[in-house]
Amino acid sequence: MIVILQSNVTEEQIDHVLRRIEALGLQHHLSRGTFRTIVGIIGDEEKLQAEPLHAIPGVAQVIPVLPPYKLASLEAHPEPSIVDVSGVKIGNGHLGMIAGPCSVEDRDRMFRIAESVCESGANLFRGGAYKPRTSPYAFQGLGETGLKLLREVGDKFNMPVVTEVTDPRLVELVAEHADMLQVGARNMQNFALLTEVGKSQRPVLLKRGMSATITDLLMCAEYILSQGNMNVVLCERGVKGFDSATRNLFDVAAVPLIHNLSHLPVIVDPSHATGRPDLIPACALAGLAAGADGVHIEVHDCPEEAKSDGPQALLPDQYRQLADQMKELVKLFGKTVSPLPEKMG
């Protein structure tokens, strides 16, 4: 940690700062510049966090050298992590292709969509059994019935399934049926929920909040990692912008930025980022070109009948064409689409 002292700091105040640091059992290095005096501190970080260094007279600024997200940082884990979702790998050259409808709907439709995206090369099937909606009158999902149906579909096509969990009280139930737990944008900073999904030890797909910074996202991942669950995949799904032409602002630069800061895999979700099927293919390819470890896309065989978010879903044929393009593109980067497991158990 570095302590920057005020420009008008007195010698007495400098001595007091040094004595306080020594009293904590820490080492210090004093550097006097033309305009600023700086104190470098070396020692136990927990002692520094517990001590209000800002309150010491003469201190202008306290700057941590290491990021606050210790477990998510590259310093803690210099090599890129690989998250295994029931046999499907995501990260470090392994591509996750997540596809499926926004909501779990009727049985026949779910089987049709799953068969189509599976044939196109998707390796994880998604669908929401619990839906956090802006309006209390909108479709909220099928609940436990939807979870069971999602599990049935996943077993039929040997595809791991990912679904959103919206409440800490539902984590155990959802974990019984899903291979991967999704924490949605609205719940990114639901710290009680993050702690519970961390305890579940199921792989977690953590979506970036609509107004969240990259540091916010990594700090939320830290909650999950701190519970011993290192299987976290981050998702860039767009942030709030001022232009209503798209649903959100697709922050494609977040992908390489996160890779520069963290070892965790990061995927992109152009469906929620744009809300427009005509923009999804280009944004999906842009995300992969930026280094994304996977793509999350909503697919529906009849968007006009969808229970939720139908207007932003691709048709199965559209997804098939895009999937072919994505598979060709990732070859240029030496990556491969992770194959489906031989048998899920």
163, 150 contact by CB (below 8 A): yes
pTM of the model as a whole: 0.85
Residue pointed to by tokens 């884990």: 77
Question: Could you report the per-residue pLDDT of 235-263, keeping only the tens digit for each?
Answer: 999 999 999 999 999 999 999 999 999 99
How sure is the predictor about 337, in pLDDT bands with cuts at 50, 70 and 90? very high
Pairing of strands 88-90, 83-85: antiparallel
Rounded CA-CA distance 60/37 in Å is 10
Split at pLDDT 50, 70, 90, the class of 33 is confident
User: By the 8 A CB rule, do 181 and 205 touch?
Assistant: yes
Q: pLDDT tens digits for 147-199? A: 999 999 999 999 999 999 999 999 999 999 999 999 999 999 999 999 999 99
